[in-house]
Structure 1
Amino acid sequence: MTSAEPPRSGLKNPQAAVRGLGAGTLVLEAIVLLLGIQPIRIMGGDLTGWGVASVIVLAVLAALLAGLMRRPWAWHAGTGLQVLLLASGLFHWSLAVLGLIFGAAWVYALYVRRTILG
């Protein structure tokens, strides 16, 4: 192997593996968002109707993007979704925390994508 060749990942289908990582991250995010609504409301959170609506919209968008990971623009849209989740922290601080956590997971997924696919 010459130094000009990128290192092989050892995966049979690296593109599918990377898409699976991105889709899995987004599906997990959608599930956590939907499951987080009620505990925030019960534990004394002032999550208003707009806050609940934003969480539901973000969860639906995450699920839709998970199914669209074959499209190259879906990775950019996923990044935008993380920014929107972080901005939804204006409705409740716990949403900003989720935005930081899933933003970090998304940055890692982008890193893995760049490492494997080049």
Structure 2
Amino acid sequence: MLTLQAVVTLLAIPVAISVAHADAATAGIAGGVLAFAGLVIAGLLRYRWAYVAGSVLQILVIGTGFVVPVMFFLGVIFGALWGASIWVGRRVESAQPR
């Protein structure tokens, strides 16, 4: 989820620049940092705290909707997928082997 979200976040940078007329440097840095954070957190999901960091990242990505309004929608979608992934993962881990 976080890797796919990183791709979408990177693709939102040109939209922020051309449609929302955001400063190119600011949009590039903010989008790049969020995308990089998503990739790093995805690699660290073996640690419990990374799930909290991933949840915080979801809130930050939803917050980018103030610049690119469609990111409100995409952020909520990825947030729901993130929550569903955690829920399914816990169910699989708690399932007893037959």
**Common fold by TM > 0.5:** yes
Let me know the Cα RMSD of the aligned residues: 1.8
In the TM superposition, residue 40 of structure 1 has moved relative to its aligned partner by: 4.3
In the TM superposition, residue 36 of structure 1 has moved relative to its aligned partner by: 2.6
- Structure 1 unpaired stretches of 5+: 1-24
In the TM superposition, residue 41 of structure 1 has moved relative to its aligned partner by: 3.2
1:61 to 4, 16, 37: 37
Percent identity over the alignment is 33
Please say which structure displays the higher CA radius of gyration: 1
2:20 to 32, 38, 45: 45
The number of residues matched between the two structures is 93
Greater relative contact order structure (CA < 8 Å, 6+ sep): 1
**What letter matches 1:72 in structure 2?**
R
Equivalent runs, 1:1-118 vs 2, <5 Å = 25-42=1-18, 44-48=19-23, 49-118=25-94
**What letter matches 1:98 in structure 2?**
L
Would you say the 8 A contact 1:51–1:92 is kept in 2?
no
Would you say the 8 A contact 2:62–2:75 is kept in 1?
yes
- Structure 2 unpaired stretches of 5+: none
Bigger share in helix: 2
Residues 6-53 of structure 1, C-alpha deviation per residue, up to 9 Å, x if partnerless?
xxxxxxxxxxxxxxxxxxx111111121123224433x2233343443
Distance 1:95 1:47 in 2: 14
Distance 1:56 1:34 in 2: 6
**Cα 1:53–1:97 shift into 2, 3 Å:** farther
